[in-house]
Amino acid sequence: MTPVLKAAWTAQAFNGASECLQVFGGHGYVREWGIEQIVRDARVTMIYEGTNEIQAIDLLVRKIAPDAGLGLFTLLQTLSDELDPGVAAQAHFLDQVAALRQVTERLAQAAPGDPQLLYWVADDYLRALTLCLMSWAWLQISHATQDDASATAHGSRWTEPASAVRHWVLPEFAMRLHIITARLDSGA
Ligand SMILES: Cc1cc2nc3c(=O)[nH]c(=O)nc-3n(C[C@H](O)[C@H](O)[C@H](O)COP(=O)(O)OP(=O)(O)OC[C@H]3O[C@@H](n4cnc5c(N)ncnc54)[C@H](O)[C@@H]3O)c2cc1C
């Protein structure tokens, strides 16, 4: 998970900082407010300690492809074991794992005949895996806060972020998988 965590959260830090700058409008862009410095400081984290592209290659080429995803899917199976396919949000995560597994197997099969393939799709793969794991993490958050008195007291403290993630963030999983599949289908 090291490459996933490094690349995913540094990219998120930069995107989050950039969105915060956007909220300030033109004032965000000028130096006086300090937010432009935060955007710049967050940006370098995508470059050093292994650039995020190199992290993505490490994940797919070195860590996942050699055993065709066996280690990864053992982990994802552990995360899946306690879930109930009868609950829509949980079924959604299980569907994501199944789709990711299918694409991983296709990648492992095709890679020996296409030396560029894994490098071509590594960024999209890392992002898809990130979104799959985020989907699981938000299931845990929902579960942990459903009977939480402080969550109830604060009303929308957890329900609104959960709804925003579901509507605006997690659908990107399908897009990333589609990009990878399109590359696989094109064969070049
Ligand atoms: C503020 C700052 C502090 C730093 N501190 C340290 C430090 O303390 N110690 C230290 O050792 N280093 C340090 N570095 C160096 C840092 O680790 C490197 O900048 C980083 O590893 C990227 O290497 P590079 O700059 O040579 O870029 P390059 O390797 O030339 O990469 C350029 C771009 O091409 C991409 N790229 C390269 N190869 C591939 C590939 N095969 N596939 C796809 N994309 C690829 C990269 O992801 C990157 O986007 C620091 C850098 C900065 C900016």
- Tens digits of residue pLDDT in 114-172: 999 999 999 999 999 999 999 999 999 888 887 666 656 666 788 888 889 989 999 99
- Encoding tokens for residue 169? 């963030």
Closest CA to ligand 1's atom 1: 44
Pocket-testing residue among 45, 54, 125, ligand 1, by greatest number of atoms within 8 A of Cβ: 54
Distance in angstroms (rounded) separating the CA atoms of residues 175 and 129: 12
Are the CB atoms for 126 and 4 separated by under 8 Å? yes
User: What local confidence, expressed as pLDDT, does residue 145 receive?
Assistant: 83
Distance in angstroms (rounded) separating the CA atoms of residues 120 and 117: 5
Residue 88 has pLDDT above 90, yes or no: no
pTM of the model: 0.93
Residue whose token pair is 């989907």: 135
Distance in angstroms (rounded) separating the CA atoms of residues 12 and 28: 18
Ligand 1: distance of its center to the CA of 18 in Å? 21
Ligand 1: distance of its center to the CA of 81 in Å? 39
